[in-house]
Amino acid sequence: METVIEEFQEALETVCRISFRIRNISQKPTSNKSVPWWTQNLTILRKKVNAQRRKFQRTKDNDDLRDHRKEQYLAIKAEYAAAIRKERYTSWKEYCTMTSITNPWSGIYRILAGRDKRAAPQTTLKQKMVH
């Protein structure tokens, strides 16, 4: 009975090792963001913003240095926000310009961007005023 249990245990462990993806704890993913437009550059900028914020917040004794670090923090924060807006916009633009049957947004972007000028149908109010 013991040998049967040991063989079953080994078989079960082998199957689990094959079917489950085991990640080493020391391997930290560089970017675990779920958005498709997130880049390595944004990860680096985020870390810089957080480091600058911590520097600013921990400066308490020297008011001049605190003001200087606050300016640095706000400048890098604005740069980070602009980079996020740019990446998000370019990703959306790229997605919307794809022409495929599975992409329902492909024609909408051209209309919103002013590339596809279609005449708007007349409403009933306009039709009554014309007649």
What is the model's pTM?
0.54
How big is the CA angle at 129 (ends 126 and 130), to the nearest 5 degrees?
A: 85
Whose structure tokens read 């993913």? 29
Lowest mean pLDDT among 17-21, 75-79, 82-86, 102-106: 102-106
Angle between the 40-58 and 63-97 helix axes, to the nearest 10 degrees?
160
Residue 20 is predicted with a pLDDT of 74
- Residue in 97, 103, 100, 102 with CA at minimum distance from that of residue 116: 97
Give residue 69's pLDDT.
96
Q: pLDDT of 10-54, one tens digit each? A: 988 888 888 776 666 555 555 555 788 899 999 999 999 999 999
